[in-house]
Homo-oligomer: A and B are copies of this chain.
Amino acid sequence: MVARTAFFSIIIIGDELLTGSKVESNSTFISAKLAEIGVDVKTIMTVGDDEKEIIDALGFCVTRSDGVIVSGGLGPTSDDKTKDAICKFVEVNMVEHKEILDDIKQRFSKRGVDMPEPNKEQAYQPEGAILFRNPVGTAYGFEVYKDEKPIIALPGVPAEMKAIMVESVIPSLKEKGFGLSDLHILDAKVVGLAESAVYDAVGPLREWAEKRESICLAYYPHFVDVTVRVKVRGEEEFAEKMFKEAKSILEDILGEKLYGYGEDGLEIVVGKLLRQYGMTISTAESCTGGLVSNRIVSVPGASD
A interface residues with partner B (beta carbon < 8 Å):
17-25, 27-35, 40-48, 53, 56-57, 60, 64, 218, 220-222, 227, 283, 285-286, 288-294, 296-298, 302-303
List, in ascending order, chain B residues with CB within 8 A of A303's CB: 286
A289 to chain B: which residues have CB within 8 Å?
290, 293-294, 296-298, 302
B30 touches A20 (CB 8 A): yes
A20-B32 contact, Cβ under 8 Å, with A45-B45, A283-B290:
yes
A46 touches B43 (CB 8 A): yes
In contact, B29 and A20 (Cβ under 8 angstroms): yes
- The verdict on A18 contacting B47 (CB below 8 Å), with A42-B53, A286-B303, A294-B294 known, is no
A19 and B31 in contact (CB under 8 A), knowing A290-B291, A298-B289? yes
Given A20-B35, A23-B23, A31-B18, A290 and B286 touching (CB < 8 A)? no
Q: Given A289-B296, A289-B297, does the pair A32, B21 have CB atoms closer than 8 Å? A: yes
- In the complex, the answer to whether B20 meets A31 with C-beta atoms within 8 Å is yes
Q: Contacts of A34 on B, CB cut-off 8 Å?
A: 20
Could you pull out 21 A-B pairs where Cβ atoms are within 8 angstroms? A19-B31, A19-B35, A19-B41, A21-B28, A21-B32, A22-B28, A22-B220, A24-B27, A24-B28, A42-B48, A43-B46, A44-B45, A45-B46, A56-B60, A285-B290, A285-B293, A289-B293, A289-B294, A289-B296, A289-B298, A290-B297
CA distance A166 to B167 in the complex (A): 43
Q: How many copies does the complex hold?
A: 2
Cβ contacts under 8 Å, A29 to chain B: 20
Residues of B within 8 A of A290 (CB): 283, 285, 289-294, 297
The chain B residue with its CB closest to the CB of A290 is: B290
Q: Are A47 and B57 in contact (CB under 8 A)?
A: no
CB pair B46 A33 closer than 8 Å: no
Bound complex: CA of A43 vs CA of B24, how far in Å? 13
Contacts of A291 in B (CB 8 A): 290, 294
Smallest beta-carbon distance A8→chain B, Å: 10
Q: How far is the CB of A165 from chain B (nearest CB, A)?
A: 11
- Cβ B60 vs Cβ A22 within 8 A: no
Q: Least Cβ distance of A249 to chain B in Å?
A: 22
**Contact of A18 (CB < 8 Å), options: B17, B44, B64, B298:** B44
CB neighbours (8 Å) of A46 from chain B are 27, 43-45
Evaluate contact between A47 and B42: CB separation under 8 angstroms: yes
Shortest CB-to-CB span from A85 to chain B, Å, is 14
